Amino acid sequence: MRIVFMGTPRVAALSLQRLLNSPHAVAGVVTQPDRPAGRGQKPAPSPVRAVAEKHGVAVLAPEKIRDPAFLDALTAWSPDVIVVVAYGRILPRQILELAPHGCLNVHYSLLPKYRGAAPVAWAVVNGEEKSGVTTMHLVEKMDAGPILLQRGIALTADETTASLQEKLAPLGADLLLETLAGIAAGTVTPKTQDEAAATYAPMIKKEDGVIDWSLPAAAIERRVRGFAPWPTAYTHFDGALLKIHRARVVESEKAPPGEVVRADRSGLWVAAGAGALALEEVQLENRKRVSSAEFLNGSRIEKGARLGPG
RNA sequence: CGCGGGGUGGAGCAGUCUGGUAGCUCGCAAGGCUCAUAACCUUGAGGUCCCGGGUUCAAAUCCCGGCCCCGCAA
């Protein structure tokens, strides 16, 4: 089939890569414009753009999705189907109805659960035992379109958003090709979503990473994994930002939430609302991430210290 | 030129403002102690203080240039 691909981040780039290696014809690619990124704020191309250019595929990166010149160009590519993977914008009806087969979307959850911008992170934060990928037709309501195919995967006990994404990206790429084949052969049947079972996974904000020490240790530990690699679960020590990259739930004597109950060679433990968290890998602002043992060697943190704002 | 912090024995850090014998915690080696230990005691090895210039009687420390790492931001 003749395909136009719309996507932006790394996970999407993998799907594009797989399409380019398939017999399908990728007529063009649409991605977000180069944005200032990294230190120095130099505009950097999106991962999808990088892959497209490497393969010499035409790329459009409109600032405004409704820009008439862009819509004309998109129409001129005359796709049979538009494949959308984490493009990063809500598409107007005009684009949804542009191709004969409409817009095919790869979503990284088992819909109707976790509709929205951050399905992977919230699945980890909520301690889900399984997640997966779904292909569906895009409709105007966010992630509410009829489901085409779905494939599940079990989460491991130490799953992070980063690790889960690594697993879901290739799964999604596989499912995408399978779905395209099914559409071409007429063997997939769209299935309406069960609205009553829908849940939402809103975009993660920087502030979501702030650790609330009054939560149960198990909940904090899940947030440590769910917010890796971004925004990272973090707190403050002595006025400085302290990121928690890895932690473990432990049993401990009662202490006010946020209080350091252990800071010696047996570990760095912090009291939570229920239980305590053994910090295993941390990172002080401006410094590298280090094991708690290394952190203890260089810092003067002691039992009784308080972590958190103020 | 987006803002800011940093590069000091194998690791993590202090010392730099107010130049003048290189320090802390840990690791490592040897010996000791203990039924035993991520235990403890003693001794020891190990450093071009990122690189290159400059100022000075003297530079980890002050000045100029460069390389690398990191936090914020996106």
pLDDT single digits (tens) A150-188: 999 999 999 999 999 999 999 999 999 999 999 999 999
Q: Which nucleotide is at minimal CA–C1' distance from A291?
A: B12
Distance A208 CA to B70 C1' (A): 22
pLDDT digits (tens, 9 = 90+) for A259-288: 999 999 889 999 999 999 999 999 999 999
Report the 10 Å Cβ neighbour count for A203. 9
User: What pLDDT score was predicted for residue A253?
Assistant: 85
Return d(Cα A278, Cα A221) in angstroms, integer: 9
**CA–CA distance from A120 to each of A86, A193, A225, A256 (Å)?**
12, 19, 11, 32
pTM: 0.93
The confidence score (pLDDT) of residue A114 equals: 98
Residues whose C-beta lies under 7 Å from strand B? A 35-42, 206, 230-232, 234, 241, 243, 265-267, 283-288, 290, 293-299
Spans of chain A below 50 pLDDT:
none
Tens-digit pLDDT profile for residues A237-267: 998 999 999 999 999 888 999 999 999 988 9
User: A297 burial class (0-12, 13-18, 19+ CB within 10 angstroms)?
Assistant: exposed
The distance (Å) linking the CA of A299 with the C1' of B15 is 15
Assess whether the previous peptide bond of A231 is cis (omega < 30° from 0). yes
What is the per-residue pLDDT for A276?
96
Whole-number percent of chain A with pLDDT over 90: 94
Residue A108: C-alpha distances to residues A101, A166, A176 (Å): 21, 11, 12
| pLDDT on residue A39 | 86
Residue A105: the pLDDT is 98
Nucleotides of B under 7 A from a protein CB: 1-6, 11-14, 24-26, 38-39, 69-74
User: ipTM value of the model?
Assistant: 0.91
pLDDT at A310: 61
